[in-house]
Amino acid sequence: MAELLQFTLLGASNSMIKTLKNIKRLLVIVRILAKYNTFFLLERAGVFSNSLQRARRLIIIGQKSPFGLSNKRPGERLSLAFRELGPIFIKLGQALSVRRDLVGDEVAEDLCSLQDELEPFPAIEAIQVIEKEFGRSIKELFLEFNETPVAAASIAQVHFGVTSEGEKVAIKILRPGIENIFSQELDLLFWLGKTIDRYIPNSKRLRIPDVIAVLAETVSDEMDFRLEAAAGDELRENFANDPIFHVPRMDWKRTSKRVLTLERIEGFPADEVEAIKATGQNTEYLVANMARLFFLQVFRDGFFHADMHPGNMMISEDGTLQPIDFGIMGRIDRQTRFYLAEMLVGFLNSDYDRVAKIHFQAGYVPANQSEKAFAQAVRAIGEPILGLPLNQISLARLLAQLFDVTKRFKMETQPQLLLLQKTMLVAEGVGRQLHPETNMWELARPLIEDWVKNQMSVENRISEVAEEAKLAIERLPFLISEIGKNIESFRRDGIKINPGDVQPFNYQRKSKSKWMLWTFTIVIGLVYLIFLRS
């Protein structure tokens, strides 16, 4: 009993210490957010504006306001605050840049430019990480190792080198101690998110704990370079025979959880337009290729590069597009791809009834909402944007405004579409920099339309049914085995029913009871055919 009491008290003590640490860090965060005047997010969540401003005036006593702060937009102030708060808040800002329903269009736009750049850590520490990971000296692994990093971010930094086989490579090394830093900060964010969710009712629809969970999962994946190498390999395989899209080779012999070694890519970042033009490249052709590659990644493969800012897309002198940094990738299942394609085609054809119907079929909008009213809201979004000159039309902005109507129609956030929408926005920006007169989505339109027609074809539907039947047949032995185990269990132990569990069955709909009866009959029939007749 004494041991149990001691264990309980120890747990309570650890919990109290953790809470106190969170509160201490929270005070630092609040002070920095107040310094940059960023309490507007709380105002939008339903906290009284006057109370917040009074609190802010008290918090910033003794703090010197940053120069020129009064002339900056809210999103710019928030970006500055996140930079000062450190790596995890930079990641949080990048995650919020796709949550226009939470922060608004203007703030999201400013957060899109939040770059993950930090001071580099010493080269000797990078070498120590490499040697510890592989149990070999740096000279055994590399003929050359450039101690000056070419890039430094919150999670890792990159050095150039030459392998012992003479291959030019880029070496990405995890920042020492970053796992503990991110773990502590994420614990705080989870605690804070749950607190906001509990005490500010208006915030529940925004699913803040879910946003933080996605951020935590993303950061966890980014800190395991084996996963990034696997993602790069998969993308490389998907485009193995594409002449104008080159994904770098992974050097698995020199890749581990904390070190990633891959083929060194040479070229120009996609925003260095003048340097690209100086090589004689046709920038309109480059944008057309970008549109095609985006379509193939999203619709053909359902696997796309989700961090395609200009620095992550290199263009060689012969016009080959070369992606780098595969830490953030997106996946979309086939059904979501189909709905997305139908949605985009519907918008491009100004068929708003079709767009509304797709949302209801996909279950994005609850069935108790009015489809006609939703179509009207969609028209109000689409007409102003689609009425612009072709080169000014932004499907990413259109999707962003579409997500903004979620408040009215109770549409829940779709994380997979938000990530895609951010990727589309960045791709649009790169395309406009390269060739402002071209709209990459209009170039991708026939590809999307053909894909939808192909998916709806009789041959494709038959193929899908056959594939589903094949999977069902493959799972049948497992299901039969489980049924056999359950029958044996019933024979041995009988069926135990909790009286409290019986009551809900009285309220089941008759149609559900019939469905269960038919399912039970079919299962018993299968058991009879396979076992009793064998």
Q: pLDDT per residue over 202-225, tens digit each?
A: 666 666 777 788 778 878 888 899
**Exactly one of 101, 307, 325, 351 is catalytic; which is it?**
307
261, containing H or E segment: strand 259-263
Instruction: Report the chain's C-alpha Rg in angstroms.
Output: 27
- Domain ranges for the chain: 2-112, 118-264, 268-456, 497-534
236 Cβ partners below 8 Å, 6+ apart? 247, 248, 249, 250
CA separation for the pair 219, 227 (Å, rounded): 12
The pLDDT, as a whole number, for residue 507 is 44
pLDDT in tens, 472-497: 666 667 666 666 666 666 666 655 54
Of the CATH numbers 3.30.70, 1.10.3470, 2.60.120, 3.30.200, which one belongs to the domain with range 118-264? Answer: 3.30.200
pTM of the model: 0.74
The pLDDT, as a whole number, for residue 510 is 45
The pLDDT, as a whole number, for residue 209 is 78
SS3 state of residue 142: strand
Confirm whether 307 is a catalytic residue.
yes
SS3 state of residue 303: strand
Half-sphere exposure of 165 (CA within 13 A, CB side): 6
111 Cβ partners below 8 Å, 6+ apart? 75, 78, 79, 93, 94, 96, 97, 103
CA separation for the pair 362, 336 (Å, rounded): 8
Tens place of pLDDT per residue across the chain (534 aa):
555 555 455 555 666 776 777 777 788 888 888 888 877 766 665 555 555 565 555 566 556 667 677 788 888 888 888 888 888 888 888 777 766 666 777 887 788 777 767 789 999 999 999 999 999 999 999 999 999 999 988 889 999 999 999 999 999 999 998 888 888 888 888 887 787 777 766 666 666 777 788 778 878 888 899 999 999 999 999 999 999 999 999 999 999 999 999 999 999 999 899 999 999 989 989 999 999 999 999 999 999 998 888 888 999 999 999 999 998 898 988 888 888 888 888 888 889 999 899 888 888 888 888 999 989 998 998 888 877 776 777 777 777 777 777 667 877 766 667 778 778 878 888 888 888 888 887 888 888 888 877 876 655 556 555 665 666 666 667 666 666 666 666 666 655 545 444 444 444 444 444 444 445 445 444 444 444 444
CA separation for the pair 232, 158 (Å, rounded): 16
